[in-house]
């Protein structure tokens, strides 16, 4: 088996037993990249030279007998809305096409302390606005399980790179499902942490009250290892939290006996494809056989959650993206006569259609005549959703739903149907609205051999319980880290 197809956990063990070197691991990943990247198109910037140099430093430390951190020598791809010092960070937008940050995001600094190997920066929907990775200003990323289909979004490049063997792990960001939905479409494990569990310092903001950085990988243990490396309080992010012990430690082998699982019937109704529902039900039945208790629950605000999400996220985006005006950094429209023309042309030429759509929507719902009718009502619904989850977790330990209502659809299929594209977020947005942790794990395939994801949702800072539950399922189903043939 090629090194690029192994899990981070396996590679970490092999490295310490000197069955392979960090340079050999990195070269295996870059050789794989050479073979498939022209078809997958996951990367916007490849950092081969610096990655191999870092891998060589890890090998030197190993040869000197130094004790290595858990992620030392592991190739990790970074979503291109996370700042990397000296490495281009574009947010897949023309307006930041040549932007090179002067500092690292906190998550990158924490991984540098782990001696990780950064393979490069991966594609996304522009400014993380989209669910298919088709809104990038530079290229459309393909799903390694079927190159004619989308990898999901907005962290489509993060998911495709790991699924194709072009990285062992990756970092993504999740505002309304942008880690979990691509993980579902690409057959990966993906975690959206509790809001505040991971620092957002250095993440280019989309919607600040919803955004969260998280890990993607090919096994639960891999994702848990990457999460452990990046989580925790950061003085550079006032919204980050000092984690309770349960969020930073866990026993993956603890099993699910006595675990109370809630199935919200609203997430298994019309609009969710039958193969998706069937796969999730089968997985839950296996967990029940392993000792879990299952009950049906209701999360009644689910029907309104997508509307509330797009109002809140677009309102925050219209404010956050006001900084891209051609004055300080990024693209500046040439030959402008006056400040108003500079603003207008820079933003018209620099932003793509979806970003402009959401800025206009956000500005509209914040305007004086419509604030009460839209934004204020959406904020009230947010409180109601949070209350419904609190009630649910009084009787349940974990809530399980499909991650997405469908499997990966064909490239171009939904580009002209914005409402259908937005409706694809129905299973994931309530988690961001409530600030909860959620983990997507593969639970089967449909008739086209496309992966199906199951979403595990827990109370705040219950990541350990989610990992334990997902790892139990991983053992029951025999694992799910095979790389598709390309």
Spatial distance between the Cα atoms of 103 and 109, rounded to a whole number of angstroms? 9
Q: What is the number of other CB atoms lying within 10 angstroms of the CB of residue 279?
A: 22
Q: Which residues are catalytic?
A: 79, 154, 178
Polymer length of the chain: 486
Which H helix or E strand runs over 371? none
Spatial distance between the Cα atoms of 252 and 414, rounded to a whole number of angstroms? 39
Q: How many CA atoms does the CB half-sphere of 161 hold within 13 Å?
A: 35
Q: What integer pLDDT is reported at residue 246 of this predicted model? A: 61
> Is pLDDT of 192 > 70?
yes
Q: What integer pLDDT is reported at residue 130 of this predicted model? A: 97
Spatial distance between the Cα atoms of 164 and 181, rounded to a whole number of angstroms? 17
Record the pTM. 0.97
Q: What integer pLDDT is reported at residue 356 of this predicted model? A: 98
Q: Mean of the pLDDT values across residues 11-28?
A: 98
Spatial distance between the Cα atoms of 362 and 263, rounded to a whole number of angstroms? 33
Buried b / exposed e along 171-203 (16+ C-beta atoms within 10 A): bbbbbbbbbbbbbbbbbbbbbbbbbbbbbbbbb
Q: Mean of the pLDDT values across residues 300-322?
A: 96
Q: Percent of the chain, pLDDT > 90?
A: 94
Q: What integer pLDDT is reported at residue 243 of this predicted model? A: 83
Bridge-based pairing of strands 189-192 and 438-445 is antiparallel
Q: What is the number of other CB atoms lying within 10 angstroms of the CB of residue 16?
A: 13
* Mean pLDDT value across the chain: 97
Q: What integer pLDDT is reported at residue 117 of this predicted model? A: 99
> Is pLDDT of 481 > 90?
no
Q: How many CA atoms does the CB half-sphere of 132 hold within 13 Å?
A: 26
Q: Which CATH architecture has domain 3-259+461-477?
A: Alpha-Beta Complex (3.90)
Q: What integer pLDDT is reported at residue 180 of this predicted model? A: 99
Spatial distance between the Cα atoms of 448 and 168, rounded to a whole number of angstroms? 25
Which residues have CB under 8 Å from 129's CB, separation 6+?
Answer: 135, 154, 206, 317, 354, 355, 358
Which residues have CB under 8 Å from 194's CB, separation 6+?
Answer: 212, 241, 247, 435, 436, 437, 460, 461, 462, 463
> Is pLDDT of 213 > 80?
yes
Q: What integer pLDDT is reported at residue 248 of this predicted model? A: 66
pLDDT band at 482 (very low <50, low <70, confident <90, very high): confident
Contact (Cβ atoms closer than 8 angstroms) between residue 165 and residue 72: no
Span 53-64, pLDDT tens digits: 999 999 999 999
Spatial distance between the Cα atoms of 154 and 167, rounded to a whole number of angstroms? 18
Q: What integer pLDDT is reported at residue 244 of this predicted model? A: 77
Spatial distance between the Cα atoms of 392 and 389, rounded to a whole number of angstroms? 5
Spatial distance between the Cα atoms of 211 and 433, rounded to a whole number of angstroms? 10
- CA 138, 118, 189, 463 torsion-angle sign: negative
- CA 236, 432, 293, 283 torsion-angle sign: negative
Q: What integer pLDDT is reported at residue 331 of this predicted model? A: 96
pLDDT band at 480 (very low <50, low <70, confident <90, very high): confident
Q: What integer pLDDT is reported at residue 416 of this predicted model? A: 86
Q: Which residue has the tokens 């296996």?
A: 286
> Is pLDDT of 245 > 90?
no
What's the angle, vertex CA 404, arms to CA 400 and CA 408, rounded to 5? 145
> Is pLDDT of 366 > 70?
yes
Q: What integer pLDDT is reported at residue 85 of this predicted model? A: 99
Q: Mean of the pLDDT values across residues 350-374?
A: 96
Question: Could you tell me which of 324, 305, 253, 246 has the C-alpha nearest to residue 425?
Answer: 305
Q: Three-state DSSP class for 125?
A: coil
Contact (Cβ atoms closer than 8 angstroms) between residue 32 and residue 4: yes
Spatial distance between the Cα atoms of 242 and 248, rounded to a whole number of angstroms? 10
């Amino acid at each position: 088996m090629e090194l690029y197809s192994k899990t981070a956990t396996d590679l970490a063990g092999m490295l310490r037993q000197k069955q392979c070197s960090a340079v050999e691991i990195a070269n295996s990943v870059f050789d794989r990249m050479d073979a498939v990247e022209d078809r997958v198109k996951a990367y916007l910037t490849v950092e081969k030279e610096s990655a191999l140099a870092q891998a060589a430093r890890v090998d030197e430390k190993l040869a000197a007998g130094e004790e290595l951190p858990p992620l030392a020598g592991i190739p990790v791809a970074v979503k291109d809305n996370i700042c990397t010092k000296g490495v281009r960070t574009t947010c897949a937008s023309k307006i930041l096409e040549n932007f090179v940050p002067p500092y690292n995001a906190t998550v990158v600094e924490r991984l540098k302390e782990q001696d990780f190997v950064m393979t490069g920066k991966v594609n996304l929907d522009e400014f993380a606005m989209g669910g298919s990775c088709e809104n990038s200003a530079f290229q459309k990323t393909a799903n390694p399980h079927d190159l004619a289909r989308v990898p999901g979004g907005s962290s489509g490049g993060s998911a495709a790179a790991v699924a194709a063997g072009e990285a062992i792990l990756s970092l993504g960001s999740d505002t309304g499902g942008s880690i979990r939905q691509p993980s579902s479409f690409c057959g990966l494990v993906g975690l959206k942490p509790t809001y505040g569990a991971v620092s957002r310092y250095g993440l280019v903001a989309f919607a600040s009250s919803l955004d969260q950085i998280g890990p993607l990988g090919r096994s639960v243990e891999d994702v848990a290892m990457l999460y452990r490396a990046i989580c925790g309080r950061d003085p550079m992010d006032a919204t980050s939290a000092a984690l309770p012990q349960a969020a930073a430690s866990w026993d993956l082998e603890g099993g699910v006996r006595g675990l109370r699982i809630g199935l919200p019937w609203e997430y298994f109704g019309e609009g969710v494809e039958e193969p998706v529902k069937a796969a999730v039900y089968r997985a839950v039945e296996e967990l029940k056989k392993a000792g879990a208790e299952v009950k049906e629950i209701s999360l009644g605000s689910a029907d309104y959650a997508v509307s509330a999400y797009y109002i809140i996220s677009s309102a925050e985006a219209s404010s956050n993206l006001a900084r891209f005006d051609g004055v300080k950094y990024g693209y500046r429209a040439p030959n402008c006569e006056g400040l108003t023309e500079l603003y207008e042309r820079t933003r018209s030429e620099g932003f793509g259609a979806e970003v402009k759509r959401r800025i206009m929507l956000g500005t509209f719902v914040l305007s004086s005549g419509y604030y009460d009718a839209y934004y204020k009502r959406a904020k009230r619904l947010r409180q109601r959703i949070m209350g419904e989850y609190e009630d649910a977790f009084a009787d349940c330990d974990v809530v399980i739903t499909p991650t997405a209502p469908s499997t990966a659809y064909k490239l171009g299929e939904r580009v002209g149907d914005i409402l259908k594209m937005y409706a694809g977020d129905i299973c994931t947005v309530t988690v961001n609205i409530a600030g909860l942790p959620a983990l997507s794990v593969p639970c089967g395939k449909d008739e086209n051999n496309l992966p199906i994801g199951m979403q595990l949702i827990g109370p705040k800072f219950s990541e350990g319980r989610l990992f334990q539950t997902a790892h139990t399922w991983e053992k029951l189903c025999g694992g799910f880290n095979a790389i598709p043939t390309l």
